[in-house]
Structure 1
């Protein structure tokens, strides 16, 4: 496969390089000086973009004197776009037939947020809003080569640990959305999808720290929203991205957008493979305060084979200027196959024994999302809207564990081969009505919503019987579990915008009804609860492009079907992972204070404090009589977090950009385990450095590095981690064909991820040596031309109210 990809890449490069040579044309210069309309002071570090048709051709940053210039501009009609945080954006039409000096260009300050303008800057754009931080990935040169997962290492408040788990403010308690909506492909293991998703198809990443009331109240730390949609117009355009990564991970993504009159369509799809072999896995467990003492040590090597594919289509039809219908369908599927061979050494007092084990675990996922939106506009104002949305989600996730033992040495306990099947299914229907009406200084939003969920887990355990020479059903470890969760909500939000103030306040009332049924034992679990969730945020615009934001909100965490399903996962001998159908929802209180300065580059500093009781904690218990560790989730925790975050982005020159970011948290956790109080606390956080340089002739180079402190858990912690990357890109055909390459962690092939856990009667450590060095290359081809724009529904369904999987 790699040889085929290399041959294809060389062929494509040869063809397009030969096509890219063009005759020299006469070019001209366009320049000007930006000034503040009130103070008449120079406009420092404004973003100025030169646009032709629907494409931004060049971007520059004004200097300390407000001066900007474009050289080598061909004859023709262009649009000049100027913008900066704290100022109203401006567009100027220019016709180039000779050198042009625009003289002074006056920019008017504004008290509220900058109007959205399609500017692709030569530096990452970080925008602070009252309730969120927005990272413009298209402004980052590395977006052409990195995956979304790697791009998240650079986003303020986000970090990615050594096992590729995304953290928001140092924790994993958040919700992740795509275009404001949940996606079935992200429900089980989001890092697999994010690792395969190219960042060049993402417009921006929003980190919503104080989610407004229109969002479901789930996600204790906040919401991560990945925006991929683009404005398009009459005609068509498309994008094809082919990539290869070492270790073996080829991928292909394509996107096609069409528009004709009132009808528009966006079709997209992607597929990828992630295959690694020889990953070392070590398990160590020692008993303590127990006689006789027992020890477990295992060493193994794992082969992992991942495959995923997704696709979809968005259709849009404008009935007239006030009525819009949109529909979307998103099928997806894939599998994760893990084959592990291990050697176990067991000590129990003076007895010592060993055996070998082979295990195969296969996770599969498949499903489809369907969404339908109807939007009604009003003649009085453009933003006055009424939207009705319906969403249907169908998902299936079968899991198969196959474990066999051989070569026992001095091991007297019976070793019985076994298999486990768990077919987990879920369905979800959502109906939602949203209304928004902007008055002179106040915007009113309101809505109602109903979510009807059903989940089922059919799990079976089969043990090998020597007499029957076959696998027989173990009825004690088999069951059918179903779970229904119905949620009804209503919300109301008010946004008040004045000259220098933005005030946003609202509340959401939610009622939740849960019923769980064990068919084999005919037993049920029922619960119902009501929550009134407030959300308040202020933003004050200061002089010199500064602002201060303050926010408070409560967030709720409902357990997902994976945590509720009591399936006893025994894919690791000596360990049993089991869900808890009695889990309850958790309520968290979050406070945030943020200072922003966009005078020269950007500076964001924030302080965070949150606390929650009855939090869901993953608990490890060593069962001495069975010599196994039982892992489950319980509502036993009391969590507190005090944290700070800083992000600094500075254009050293118009071509050279530097950014630094960091997060420092202190976490307190406590909970009762087997009648004894367990406590843990410590410092977590990360530091990140990025720099990029844009050379002449469309070359770009980047370097990034980050460090992450250990994660703090109730019964232990992980080790620290670091990341180092170098990359570059070259436009072979400007704005059409781009070749990109990068290398991550070139000086070390493997790196160990360590997770340490302890209890009153045991200590435990798992060490996994993941592939650390990665080499990327990709080709990205854009084609077609569009004019005008497709309308998209301003409101759509966003079910962000369940906890993501803890597996």
Structure 2
């Protein structure tokens, strides 16, 4: 912490010494016909008498833009976007007396003719570093074109994805996932399966928020990842179709957008199927019993066939009631399922601890089968009202998400010696999950440099679950009343927040600061569990400074919590492997996190961009999985021998110090290199046990080469190092991809080829676990090699027509479009 404070002091001192150019120009770009914001309009600043611009910006999704660090002088501003007449504003003066100039609303008039075919070619940065988040633009991602959301996440700065789809943000797995800024119950059932069910072709961008502000829920000590799906707000009918087929994964998706005047419709469908593949598993376990003087060795060797599938579809309707009132309704349906089926040869031997004499040898064969199915429906209704004052906005959002999940598991052990009868269990676990969110957000600019945001939110979640278990007895499965039960779980969260956004010292510093108050009330009928309510005050702050349009620095802090979900709390025993049993812990407390980050961004005229950040995270009541070894474990009247019981606990504190680096360099006009890396040291402190320190790093390199106007190639390599955990080591992971894409039909269509690990059949995953009187090593050989081909086609036309009825000001007078310059 001392090192970080010194670094902050030195950088802030440097910032103070470099302060200059404090002028600022703001405005909002509006379609003169539809009165809708124009997103991605280009704003260029010219010095008077100079033909080339020296600075500029693009408008955001609300049409707003802000350009800082402008020296005193006289300028010309030019606003442009495809299909519109350019709008030029002359004699814009920045001086000590008028350091901030607001251009207010700038109207762009559509061209008079209808464009039958419009191809918009824009080069957006792959990574856009904003004041409170980092945005990864998935449209630039070539090697992931035939994959899923998980494949894109591997490329996102500060994000780590292992081979099983477990996601970490700056080394923390407690992440709040959103889709288009809204929660979905699909993430509550199985995060990896949910992310695998979203085709990469459906994703527009991924937002990473490591230090969320007060407007965001405080849940998720790791931060927030928001997946933005593709949609279009352009006039006319357009869309795209994407198909891919491969040796490991098949994908299909379709988007259709239609907009006429004030009404727009977006419909989409995307699905994929992971083709059946087989993983080879080997496990070696040694346990000692000092009282009995014995050493037991369990050897497991087998294979598991696995298949997964899923799809996501939805429909959204947008109605611009007036130029100040906007209503959006959406419905989405999500489905995914998986199926495991495996055979495992087991041999358990017991020998004398000192004499090494063989006391027993128990070979067996375990047959296991499991299926999981999840369906969820999401509804949302969003009303936004803007006002005459620029930046003033009211947003009322209602969302509800409900899912039905079904889990089935079966396992049977047959002993070849014939001494012991066969044993086994079969269970069905249907459940329902419903979450409803109601939020009201209001933004009010008190001045050009001071904005207040406030709002309230209620989250209401209900879970119902039932477990029916049969055990093998006398050659047949009979109901086991001791392992058959149901439970109800309800959690309500009531939140209020207040935040401000302001500038200091003539725009030398831009800052956001806020406080969020959340009260959590939980009720459940878990046996022997009493979950008290608790109140959380979560402050957050971020300050930033732009040295000039090409470089900036920011410092942020956020207070976060991680509420245990029902999977962590559910006392159900998963006995798909009787030697490795998993259960929840109803007595878990919320994890508390303090997140600090200091980041610096630099871009160059050549197109190169660099971002470096140091981060410090301190968690208390840290939630981690802990393994306990039992010689004999009684579960609902059934005894299991030589068992590892895996359960989540609040384990002391966890401190993570790290460095994140991102760089994008256009070596030539055709060759581009992109480096993404993270280095971190995690220290876990558990009272009564020695501290555990584990260093980890993640490296990936992306190279693209443009052969011509219509052929591009990409190579991507990713390496996640192994890491020491509180009881062992986590496996490393390395993979590499090659991809080619050829554009056809005047860039309306494209065909691509991708391959992953073409020269390696398996990815080897070594892991170890150790504790008092036991140690275990395991190897999983995961088939990761794949070859695939993808097709994409864009269709439709864009229309630019003037609507005379809507082209009126607040007094009902006709608005005249600005003259073409």
Q: Report the TM-score range of the alignment, normalised by the length of the smaller protein.
A: 0.7 to 0.9
Answer whether contact 1:196 1:251 (CA < 8 A) is retained. no
Cα separation, 1, equivalents of 2:238 and 2:93: 34
1:119–1:295: structure 2 CA closer, same or farther, 3 Å change rule?
farther
| 2:132 match | 131
Q: Which residue of 2 aligns with 1:713?
A: 725
| TM superposition shift of 1:150 | 1.9
* CA distance in 2: counterparts of 1:721 and 1:370, whole angstroms: 38
What is the TM-score with the length of structure 2 in the denominator?
0.80
Q: Which residue of 1 aligns with 2:539?
A: 534
Q: Distance in 1 between matches of 2:732 and 2:51?
A: 44
1:310–1:140 distance in 2 versus 1, CA, 3 Å? closer
Q: Classify the secondary structure of the residue corresponding to 2:442.
A: strand
Cα displacement (A) at 1:634 = 1.1
Corresponding residue for 2:658? 643
Gap runs ≥5 in structure 2: 1-20, 23-37, 41-49, 54-64, 71-75, 85-91, 109-118, 352-358, 633-640, 802-821
Question: Which residue, out of 668, 673, 681, partners 1:666?
Answer: 681
Q: Which residue of 2 aligns with 1:5?
A: none
> Does the aligned pair in 1 maintain the 2:143–2:738 contact within 8 Å?
no
Task: Describe the superposition over 1:454-486 as per-residue Cα deviations: whole angstroms up to 9, x where unpaired.
Answer: 1122112211232xx542221222221211111
Distance in 2 between the 1:491 and 1:788 partners?
A: 41
Q: Which residue of 2 aligns with 1:427?
A: 434
Post-superposition shift, 1:680? 2.0
* 2:806 corresponds to: none
* Match for residue 519 of structure 2 among 511, 515, 521: 511
Provide the secondary structure at the position in 2 that maps to 1:183.
coil
1:142-541 superposed matches below 5 A: 142=143, 144-247=145-248, 249-288=249-288, 290=290, 291-349=293-351, 350-381=359-390, 383-406=391-414, 408-410=415-417, 412-438=419-445, 439-466=447-474, 470-497=476-503, 499-518=507-526, 525-541=530-546
For residue 446 of structure 1, report the CA deviation from its aligned partner: 0.6
> 1:516 deviation in Å?
1.3
8 A contact 1:124–1:140 mirrored in 2 = no
Give the SS at the match of 1:417: strand
Q: Contact (CA 8 Å) 1:744, 1:774: kept in 2 or not?
A: yes
Q: CA deviation at 1:548?
A: 0.9
Alignment of 1:721-736 (within 5 A): 721-736=733-748
Cα pair distance change 1:511/1:311, threshold 3 Å:
same
Tell me if the contact between 1:179 and 1:229 (Cα under 8 Å) persists in the aligned partners.
no
Q: Which residue number in structure 1 is paired with residue 585 of structure 2? A: 580
Question: Cα distance 1:86–1:627, how it changes in 2: closer, same or farther (>3 A)?
Answer: farther
Q: Structure 1 residues 164 and 85 mapped into 2: Cα distance closer, same or farther (>3 Å)?
A: farther
**Contact 1:111-1:501 within 8 A present in 2 as well:** no
Deviation at 1:543, TM superposition (A): 3.5
Cα pair distance change 1:629/1:558, threshold 3 Å: same
Cα deviation, 1:420-475, whole Å, max 9, x if unaligned, reads: 12122211122111111233111211110111111122112211232xx5422212
Distance of aligned partners of 1:90 and 1:415 in 2 relative to their CA distance in 1, 3 Å threshold: farther
Q: Tell me if the contact between 1:352 and 1:410 (Cα under 8 Å) persists in the aligned partners.
A: no
- Out of 580, 589, 611, the position equivalent to 1:604 is 611
1:420 and 1:141, CA in 2 relative to 1: closer, same or farther beyond 3 A?
closer
Q: 1:212 to 1:229 in 2, by over 3 A?
A: farther
In 1, the alpha carbon distance for the partners of 2:231 and 2:285 equals 52
CA 90–581 in structure 1, closer or farther in 2 if over 3 Å, else same: farther
Q: Deviations over 1:539-576 (max 9, x none)?
A: 11113611111011111000111111111000112121
- Please give the residue correspondences for 1:703-782 in structure 2 after superposition, counting only pairs within 5 Å: 703-782=715-794
Whether the aligned pair in 1 keeps the contact of 2:653 and 2:686 (CA below 8 Å) is: yes
Cα shift at 1:309: 1.8
Matched, 1:686 2:670: no
User: What does the per-residue CA deviation read over 1:756-791, in whole Å, with 9 as the maximum and x for residues that have no partner?
Assistant: 2111121123322111212221101111123469xx
| 1:552 and 2:554 are equivalent in the alignment | no
2:797 is aligned to 785
The structure-2 alpha-carbon separation of the partners of 1:107 and 1:734, relative to structure 1 and needing over 3 Å to count, comes to farther
- Whole-angstrom distance in 2 between the partners of 1:669 and 1:66: 59
Q: Contact (CA 8 Å) 1:244, 1:251: kept in 2 or not?
A: yes
Task: Please report how far the alpha carbon of residue 108 of structure 1 lies from its aligned counterpart in structure 2 after TM superposition.
Answer: 11
- Give 1:166 shift: 2.3
- Give 1:411 shift: 6.9
- Counterpart CA distance in 2 for 1:489 and 1:699 is 51
In the superposition, the TM-score normalised over structure 1's length comes to 0.81
Q: Point out the more displaced range, 138-147 or 486-495.
A: 138-147
Structure 1: distance between partners of 2:39 and 2:450: 35
Query: 1 CA distance for matches of 2:702 and 2:68?
Result: 22
- Asked if the contact 2:193–2:336 (Cα under 8 Å) also holds between the matched residues in 1, the reply is no
Match of 1:11 in 2: none
**CA 1:788/1:557 → structure 2, altered by over 3 Å: closer, same or farther?**
farther
Task: Name the CA distance, whole Å, in 1 between partners of 2:714 and 2:68.
Answer: 25
Is the CA contact 1:549–1:593 (under 8 Å) kept in the aligned structure 2?
yes
Paired residues of 2:197 and 2:312 also in contact (CA < 8 A): no
Cα distance between partner residues in 2 of 1:652 and 1:107? 38
- Residue from 576, 589, 596 that aligns with 1:571: 576
Deviation at 1:269, TM superposition (A): 1.1
In the alignment of these two chains, the number of paired residues is 702
For 1:548-605, what per-residue CA distance to the aligned partner results, in whole angstroms no more than 9, with x for missing partners? 1101111100011111111100011212111111111111111111011112511111
Q: State the SS of the aligned residue for 1:526.
A: coil
Aligned CA distance change for structure 1 residues 85 and 781 (closer, same or farther; 3 Å): farther
Report the 3-state secondary structure (helix = DSSP H, G, I; strand = E; otherwise coil) of the residue aligned with 2:308.
strand
Any unmatched runs of 5+ in structure 1? Answer: 1-37, 40-53, 57-64, 69-81, 97-105, 790-807
